[in-house]
Amino acid sequence: AAAGDGEGVSDARVPNDKLVSPSKDSSTKKSMNLRKVSYSTLDGQQVTEPGLTDMSDANHVHGSRGEEGKVVIEGHVPSAQFVQEQNRKQAEGGEGDAKVIIEGHVPSEEKKHEDEEMMRHMSEGPVERAPAAEDRVTAALEALEEEGAEPEKKLSVVLVSSEVARFAKTGGLADVADKLAEALAKRGHRVMTVMPMYGQYDGAVPTGVCREFNLWGGKHGVQYHHKWEANGEDELGNETGVDRVFVDHPCFRRPGMYGEWGQDYADNMFRFALFSWASIEASLCQPTIAPFGEDVVFIANDWQTGFVPLILASNYRRFRMFGPARSIFVIHNMGYHGVYPNPPTWESPKFSWHDIGLPDDSYYDRFVWTFPVDERPSKGRDPRDTGEAIKLLRGGIEMADRVVTVAPSYKDEITSLEGGFGMHDCARGRSYHLDGILNGIDIAEWDPSNDTHTAAPFSLANVTNKSVCKRSLQFDLGLEQRPDTPIVAFIGRLAPQKGVDVLEQVLGWL
């Protein structure tokens, strides 16, 4: 799982003979801990900290105390000034200094001869060098495979989404939230999904647990509902499944999820701020018999959950809570930013983070966005229209520990001028913590050989029934049932970013 820089280092014992010079004793090297021992590419020495020689090793002691407390340095002879000073102190009854003054030392004839031999060998053949970083990593991975790597660390994952398939869905976000949770659970991770309770769902029962949050000067209580969904067994034979948690509040019980008749609900910022608070608290109280606790990974999806990383950082971590927790923000659609003008209207006062229950306005700059004059409603004709707003999508990108997109190609797209919808610089600014992971599908649900929604089953080995499915579709749509007529299908919302305008331009040609 994603974590902060320096996190996630394995404690696996790695045979260090893969990492250091073959002249070292392999039996000694295997007892070393890879976390504490690194390799210096500068001098090829085994060191306990990068760049610092382990002086406890006798092989690295370049100086020693000779007879009568005199300091002897290998390959060097004391300067005349140093010898005179030591003789003077001894004549006065002192013991001489144990400190060595390097200045003034000159190489001995033996040292010069050694240097000449080394230069001759360097000119005759290749010089042995310390292995490159890539070589060391490869060697470490090979060593882990040979001796058996540690099992994958099992995590507690809280997947926060405004929609989950089979309960509420408007697009692909719901499918990913549903199937990703099941896939993680099958790998042995403990997984919880949290979503608003837009209606009554079969199997979701009240837990009796309530939480209260202060938003916009009032106290708002939510109640948690829970449903356990088993989906199989892990490699150890333990039952796996997903804890489905629903946040119940009157503001979610509406005909639409985000709005009606093409208009967003005016209080969406309040609704999803409340949902974000409740989602974080869910890990502390759900399920009631064994809550997930603070050592969790929050996976927040799209602008509706943009407040989750902010609340986690500005409130809980400030009071020493959720210290081991990490947040991942997933961008499913860069075209929807969750924009809320500040102030909401020209006559109303500006809101602050105090209104969403935070102690101060820390990190407000991570959310704020100032629209250019030509994109403001007044077009610059009204001085009250400053163009200031917050974008929840931007805040999620800026505040999360890691940012993920739904495909590697989409990661590149959102950092481009054309695909960033004005926030390409914001995405580029997190490029070091930005990754693209291709969405998966449930191969059992989307298997046409046992799909109950098609007229006839077919598979890669037998595609003859595809013609039966085509005739059935033509009949259902009132088209001519002709096998030689191609069917062009468009699956997507009627939105400009889906390319409907491009398709419309070629309808005549088709």
Over residues 18-74, the pLDDT tens digits come to 333 333 343 333 333 333 333 333 333 333 333 333 333 333 334 444 444 444 444
Q: Which helix (H) or strand (E) holds 62?
A: none
Per-residue pLDDT, 73 = 47
Percentage of the chain lying above the pLDDT 90 cut: 55
pLDDT of 407 reads 94
Q: Tell me the average pLDDT across 369-381.
A: 92
State the pLDDT at residue 32.
36
Identify the pLDDT of residue 192: 97
Residues sharing a CB contact under 8 Å with residue 260, sequence separation 6 or more, in sequence order: 254
- Whole-number Å distance between alpha carbons of 401 and 308: 11
The average confidence (pLDDT) of the chain is 80
| Stronger pLDDT, 381 or 60, i.e. the higher one | 381
Q: Which residue has the higher pLDDT, 59 or 348?
A: 348
Query: Which of 56-70, 127-141, 217-231, 417-431 shows the lowest mean pLDDT across its residues?
Result: 56-70
What pLDDT, on the 0 to 100 scale, is given for residue 61? 37
The whole-number pLDDT of residue 235 equals 74
Give the lowest-confidence range in 15-19, 35-39, 380-384.
35-39
**430, β-bridge pairs:** none
pLDDT per residue over 252-291, tens digit each? 999 999 999 989 999 999 999 999 999 999 999 999 889 9
Comparison of pLDDT for 151 and 420, the residue scoring more: 420
- C-alpha–C-alpha distance, residues 343 and 345, integer Å: 5
pLDDT value of residue 318: 92
DSSP characters for 477-500? Answer: TT----TTS------S-S-GGGTH
User: What value does the mean pLDDT take over residues 143-149?
Assistant: 58
3-state secondary structure of 501: helix
Alpha helices in 302-418 (DSSP H): 307-311, 392-399, 408-414
In this prediction, residue 153 has a pLDDT band, given cuts at 50, 70 and 90, of: confident
pLDDT of residue 13: 38
- In angstroms, how far is the first alpha carbon of the chain from the final one? 47
Residue 427 has pLDDT above 60, yes or no: yes
Q: Is the pLDDT of residue 96 over 80?
A: no
pLDDT at 25: 42
What is the structure's pLDDT at 37?
A: 33
**Phi, psi angle pair for 26, to nearest 5°:** -65, -35
| Tens-place pLDDT, residues 447-487 | 999 998 999 999 988 898 999 999 999 999 999 999 899 88
Query: What percentage of the chain reaches a pLDDT higher than 70?
Result: 72
Predicted pLDDT at 238: 79
